[in-house]
Structures are given as C-alpha cells and as structure tokens.
Chains A and B, each alone.
Chain A
Amino acid sequence: MTTLLQSLLIAIRALRVNKMRALLTMLGIIIGIAAVIAMVAIGSGASKMISDQIASIGSNLLLVIPGSTTSGGLRTGAGGTPTLTFDDARAIKAECPSIGEVAPTVRGSAQVVFGNQNWSTIVIGCTPEMLAVRDWPLTSGRNLSPSDVDGATKVCLIGQTVAENLFGSADPVGKIVRIKKIPFTVIGMLEHKGQSPQGQDQDDVIFIPLTTAQRKVFGSQFPNSVGAMMVQAQSADVLKKAEDEVTALLDQRHRIGPSRERDFTVRNLSEILAVSEQSSKVMSLLLGAVASISLIVGGIGIMNIMLVSVTERTREIGIRMAIGAKQHDILLQFLTEAVLLTTCGGVIGMGVGVAGAMVVSKLMSWPTLISTQAIVIAFLFSAGVGVFFGFYPARKAAGLNPIDALRYE
C-alpha cells in the first residue's frame, strides 16, 4: 500500500514536470471519454423518447384490424371491408381469459362546428373501455357510459387540439358541437397526449359512443361492424397468450379454415416497441463503438509518450535500480504514471461529455440520459486503457539493465 502511494506521488511529480505534454497526451483520452459519454447520453435519450411515444398508445395492447376479403375473385386490401363486429368484441371480452379490456372502434373524419368556428378532425366511435385501454385520463367532465353506447346518445369527449381550435381557452364541457350537422353535447375533455410514434397529433380527436357512430354519423353499410379493436392483455406476461386466444376465437367465429383466408389481423404493439427499442439500442451501441475507437487512439498516444518518457528517464531508472528498486517497483512506477494520465483524462472527459450532452439536449430539445453506469464504465475503461497501453513501456523500463541505464547519457 505504501509503495502504491509512493509511486502515485512519484507519478504526480513526473507529470507536473511536463504539464503541457501531460495535457496533450491526455487529450486523446479526454476526447474519447467525452465522446462516449455524450454519445451514450444522446443515444439513450433518443431511445427513451421513442419508447415514451410508443407507451403513449397504451400498454400491453393487441390491435385487431380487419383483413382482406375475397369476393368474386377480387381481393381487397387489409381493412378494406369491415369484417369485425361489435359482437366479436363482446365475445373476446367474455371468452378470452387473458384479456383485460376490449375497445372496439370505428373511425372517420368529419367537420366539427361550434359557433362560428369549424375544424376537421378524426371522429372515433368507441366504448367506455377506450380510455382505460389507451391509458388516457380526462382533465374535466365524465367518460362515456355503457348507457351512452346502448342508447346511441349524442355525447362526445373532445381532444385538446380540437378544443383549442373550437373553444380557444373556454371550457368546452357542457357545450354543444355539431358533427356532420348533428348536435353533440361535450361531456368530457381528454388530457394532452402528444405525438404518436408516426408523428400524428393524437389530441386532434373526438370520441363518441360506438353505436352513435355506426348508426348516425358514419351510417355504415355493414351495420354493427367495427373498424379496429384495441385489446388489452391482463399483463405483459400473458400478451402472447392473449394474442393466441383472440386469434383462435376469431378463427372460430369467422369460420376460418384451410379453405378460407383469415379476414382479420392481430398485431402486437409491444413487438413494435421491442423492435424500435432494439434499433435505438443498436444505434447507441454503434455510437459507442465509434467513440471507443478514439479511446484506443488516445491509448496509443499514451503508450507513445510513456515510451519517450522511459527513454528520457533511463538514467533515473538506473539510479533507482542501483539503490535498490526492484523490477516491480519500476514497473509499478511507470504503470501508475500511465494510469494516472488516463484516469485524469477520463475525469476531465466525463465533465466535457456531460456538458456536451447537456448543450445538445438544450439546442436540439432532445432528451439526454446521463447514466451513472456509463460514467462508471467510462472511468474504469480509461483506467483500463492506462494499464493496457502503459504496461509495455513500464515493462521496458523494468527490464533495463542497471549498468547500462546508469551509463545512459
């Protein structure tokens, strides 16, 4: 322990003698560590942004959408014909044990009018379960009720963007808006949700009872049919099971067999999440890999300077050996010096990296995540670079013959 402390003191002194050189040598490590820290912070910030957006859709969701149908040899595209019904939704809710809630929807766009303002928006017919499934609370008013759906009442929930455009800052609850000229009472206002992963404004929306949409607003040619169903599994663990249950049930209800093509699609939204998380992880990894290259370059710089230092101080090494320094004393001395260089560079680099990440997040309004894990790893890595690239010069110093070293001019 005392020898380690001693070699630390010797190393500090040796570095102080050549401050400028020490700083320049450290620069490689400073840049490398700063790049790693900043890149990882920005990368994980971006990945958090993506996963937040995806989580805003709702958690543990399956999306059931109508598939293609074939009639008279003509195949429609996916969702071309409304093959799903409200009864399908009820059946899923009743018969699939892994399912929490089911929210069948119909959607269309419509012109909405209030007073002398009007706005074109997405109108979604849905059931009260919609808010639970989408994890979407209200800021004021009340949710749709089962009786609204049963009685096809003319009430609606209004999104923030729509409210802003029609009402300005006034409270819309209790007001009457006209959707496709039909008067609707606003009974609640939805909380701000932000962009979807596709970049759409999720707040530009109006929710009305499913039955009202089917019978009065969109007047579907297939009564009782629904566009898409959002199915929430009871937990993330049973998501796959829920997917299988829903598929099996709908296969049975739609009489899907070898001779009949499946007329619906079940999509697992968590898969999308997993894929996008995967891709942002890969991005962070790539950024980190590029940054590590500069660390290696910095390490080679350290090795170079340490070799020069060993040559310059050959006589000093000779003196130390003559008066009793053993090989490992000399090895430790030069290794300590290299590690001190790289860890100092590492600490400075961390400061620069954190500052850089903060500047980027300010300028680009990107979130950045500075993890303590990344900092600890960067620190250990810089020390590791010191050991790795300092070992060869240190061993060269320790291997010198004391007689030759003493005679060295």
Chain B
Amino acid sequence: MAPKAPSSAAGQSVGTSPESEADDAELTRLIAACAARNSQALRQLYDRTAPQLLACMVRILKRRALAEEALQDVFVSIWQRAAQFESRRGRPRAWLMSIARYRAIDVLRAERAELYREAEVEQLPQLVTEGGSDWSGAGRSAAALSRCFELLTADQRRGIELAFVEGASHADIARATRQPLGTVKSWIRRGLASLRQCLER
C-alpha cells in the first residue's frame, strides 16, 4: 500500500531509458495489468510513454490539439487491446508506438485538406539530431537500425524518414523532393528492402 506514486509517475522523465531491458519488462508488466483491468496501470503506462507517443503524433499531425485528441483514442485503444499484446510477445514500446502512429496517420489522411489550410504550424518535436547520425536515446530498436540506415542512399533515407516520422504519403514525398511519384515509390521500396536485408544479417 503505497499511496505516494513513484517519482516517474509525475510524468516528467521516463526514468529508465527507452527500450532498455528494465523498461521493456516494466511496460510489459503494466500492459498485462491493463489487460486485467487495472486502470492504475494504465495511468503509469501513460506517465511513462505518453510524452513520447505525443511527440510522434504531433510530428505527424502538426497540431498539438489534434494530436492530443488522437492520443486519447490511443490510450483507450491500448486499454481495450492490452490482452492482445500478450500473445504477440513483442517489444512493448514498438507496439505502443505503432498504435499511436497508425492513429495519427488515419487522422492525417482523414483531415488532410483541412490540415494543410492551416498556416500556423506549432513548435514541432525535433529528432534528437535532425537527419544526423546520433541515435542515442532511441533505444534498442535504433542500434541496428542506425547502422543499416547508413547503408541507404540519401534519397532512400530521406523518403523513409519523411514517411515514418512525418506520416508523408508517396505523393507528399514526391512534392517535397520534386521527384516523380514512380521514382519516390522505388526509393522507398528499395530502401525498405535493403534495410530488411541489412537487419537480418
């Protein structure tokens, strides 16, 4: 019986670094507790992961209010789907991040027209080092990925990054890079194929 929440529940810092084994174990435990309908666990999961998920969603949606609304959907969805996580035995942060990204992408595609009319773009969360090679703080997922990312051509890298981080569609990337759609599609296809090959080695 500890009525005082641990300091990490204050929400500011994440405590353990993302995707360390301790972090994975703790998140997995919290998700299992959510599956057992313990809403306190959802709160702790929220404290540990919401800032990161929100950053990713704001980066895609460009508007904080919209991203925060979508973030609510994400946590309701995590609450509802917590039991499914057990069967997949994956990395919890990747799972949570995916739920957040897919939600943001769906909202983006649905509200696209409106979003692009908005002139003001708020302060967006930055990559730790924009376009650079510093992947520290990005967890275990990043260790192998950063090495393999270096093997891609600059175009492939840029295309994949725009799609993943900004939620850009093929057409958006073509516009941003002033390249034909077919070229962009092939960058991405080839880029993904080389990533996979490299990561499987």
Is B one of A's binding partners? no
